[in-house]
Amino acid sequence: MITKWPSPGKLNLFLHIISRRADGYHNLQTLFQLLDYGDTLFVESNRSGEIILLESLPGVLDDKNLIVRAAKLLRDKAKLCGELPDLAGATLKIEKKLPIGGGLGGGSSNAATVLVALNYLWNINFSVEQLADLGLQLSADVPVFIYGLSSFSEGIGELLTPIVLSNKWYLVIYPNVSINTFQIFNDPCLTRNTPYRQLRDLLLGESHNDCETVARNHCNEIEQLMAWVRLHARPHLTGTGSCVFAEFSTKLLAHQTLSLVPKRWVGFIARGVNLSPLYNINVPRFEKKVK
């Protein structure tokens, strides 16, 4: 039977890069706001022994797709632990709304949804910590989608503190340009020494996205988009870009601004949520808390 699973997007309400680690990753402080808007995964468990993606994503080889990699990673780990028979397989299909290379966490969210879905459908019953550890092998953003809670994040993104945020409305605009996260984080001009601050100070004071200047230098379209948003609201870059967002107190105000967005860009309205839509369906919510 084919099952349907939400795969929500996220915004980085701020992103401060504290230092660069010896392994090439960065220590950061960021605030993940989950959204009520995202992709949809269709997952069917079977006994084929194969992981099959029905429709490839443009420009992404199936073996490199985080959806396929997540399914294979879970399958191999479960087999190693004696939790899964050799014939366990799955057919996967994605209905994509979140733009690739937009900074909305689409790939990481897709991987998290597949891990949660197949953990349930294959009856493996790995804990949330086990799934998050597996997800971290794929991307630093996967764990926040596994836990399914808007969170303050430290380390490389894996140290999560759940936080209750006000459910604001967001206008998110994609400039039809994808940004390569690797290039942004390896740019020599990237700020890597923002002072460490306590969460309470970050919430009360000014914050920013250290990737913004580099992303704007890489892509003139982002520069133009931020200039346009600034005429109507305060613009923010999410992640390494390329999407720019602005927050509004009401859905009406967000839609009024959306109606003004130039045709060359793609916009949508989303509401911030504290619990992922992934756990609003008939699947047991993990009881264990984030460390």
Rounded Cα gap, residues 129 and 15, in angstroms: 24
Beta strands in the chain (DSSP E): 2-20, 26-46, 51-53, 89-95, 151-154, 159-162, 169-174, 236-237, 244-248, 266-273
Write down the pTM of the prediction: 0.94
Q: Is 63 among the catalytic positions? A: no
At residue 228, the pLDDT reads: 98
Find the catalytic residue in 4, 10, 96, 251: 10
Mean pLDDT of the chain: 94
How does residue 90 score in pLDDT terms, banded at 50, 70 and 90?
very high
Q: Any known ligand binding at 99?
A: yes
CB-based burial, 71-92: b 16+ in 10 Å, e otherwise: bebbbebbeeeebbeeebbbbb
Q: Any known ligand binding at 281?
A: no
At residue 284, the pLDDT reads: 52
291 CB contacts (<8 Å, ≥6 apart)? 129, 160
At residue 58, the pLDDT reads: 84
Q: What is the CATH number of domain 1-291?
A: 3.30.230.10
- All structural domains of the chain with their residue ranges: 1-291
Q: Any known ligand binding at 48?
A: no
Q: Any known ligand binding at 139?
A: no
Find the catalytic residue in 39, 77, 141, 210: 141
Q: Any known ligand binding at 195?
A: no
Please state the length of the chain: 291
Q: Is 77 among the catalytic positions? A: no
7-44: pLDDT as tens digits: 999 999 999 999 999 999 999 999 999 999 999 999 99
Mean pLDDT of 90-118: 97
238-272: pLDDT as tens digits: 999 999 999 999 999 999 999 999 999 999 999 99
Q: Is the pLDDT of residue 289 over 50?
A: no
The DSSP secondary-structure symbol of 149 reads: B
3-state secondary structure (DSSP) of residue 47: coil
